Amino acid sequence: MGEFILGIDDAGRGPVIGPMILAGCLIDEAVESEFKKLGIKDSKELTPRRREFLAVIIREKAETFEIALTHPIEIDEKLTSGTNLNHLEAIKIAEIINKINKGYNKIKVIIDCPSVNIYQWKDFLKTKIENLSNLDIVCEHKADKNHVSVSAASILAKSAREKEMENLRKIYGDEMGSGYTSDPSTLKFLEKNAQKHEHSGIFRKTWETWRVTINKISQRKLI
């Protein structure tokens, strides 16, 4: 049996609304070449329809996969208690590796590194992994573009994030938009609903966008 490759990537790292998702996708070399032929690439380069079509195939063909959700409340708790977002991501990635790394002789782990300092971040990640003996860990920038296993993980992560956002939009309305601060719909929704849904757990209150919006609302009340 050929080598197993575990690609890992995130989705929803930056939004002010909704969870951050990490996905790990374990494949062998045969499936890797199959995925290449299918045109599996970074989820940002795919239409939503194509992404969802490929997500189904990835889930079927992968040896296994894991999805780790981090909701806004957990993100805020970790950030206010001194864990930065890069370290939080490393903790979640280690959880994925620890769940998947059972009974395999050798796994090449390829991670789309969230930190500018790859070496320091990789050292921190290793402290959270239970068994390193059979792992070859590669951390890179743009790994989602350069490695099919990471592209597959990025598709699974984005697909899971979209499902979570769809569920939130069903509850809070379509005006919520994508949850990203670059989305005018999201910013409008935030201004209109920040106080109303303040304790619902959908907002990341450690985000600058949240703080600015809440301050604006408070200032208006004082006028």
Q: What is the pLDDT of residues 179-193, one digit of tens each?
A: 999 999 999 999 999
What are 223's two structure tokens?
A: 């006028």
What are 91's two structure tokens?
A: 């903790």
For residue 146, what are the β-bridge partners? none
Taking the model in full, what pTM does it have? 0.94
What are 201's two structure tokens?
A: 């757990």
Q: What is the pLDDT confidence band of residue 217, given thresholds at 50, 70 and 90?
A: confident
Q: Could you tell me which residues come within 8 angstroms of residue 135 by beta carbon, excluding any fewer than 6 positions away?
A: 97, 101, 106, 107, 108, 109, 129
Sketch the domain layout of the chain as residue ranges.
4-168, 174-222
Q: What is the pLDDT of residues 83-112, one digit of tens each?
A: 999 999 999 999 999 999 999 999 999 999
Domain covering 174-222: architecture: Orthogonal Bundle (1.10)
CATH number of 4-168: 3.30.420.10
Q: What is the pLDDT of residues 134-148, one digit of tens each?
A: 999 999 999 999 999
Count other C-beta atoms under 10 Å from residue 185's C-beta: 14
Q: Could you tell me which residues come within 8 angstroms of residue 140 by beta carbon, excluding any fewer than 6 positions away?
A: 110, 111, 112, 113, 118, 146, 147
Q: What is the pLDDT confidence band of residue 222, given thresholds at 50, 70 and 90?
A: low
Name the region of 18 (left: φ>0; alpha: ψ -120 to 50; beta: rest): left
C-alpha 42/C-alpha 29 separation (Å) is 19
In the chain, alpha helices (H): 29-38, 48-61, 72-80, 85-100, 118-127, 143-146, 148-172, 184-193, 208-222
For 177, half-sphere exposure in the C-beta direction (CA atoms, 13 angstrom radius) is 16
Q: What is the pLDDT confidence band of residue 43, given thresholds at 50, 70 and 90?
A: confident
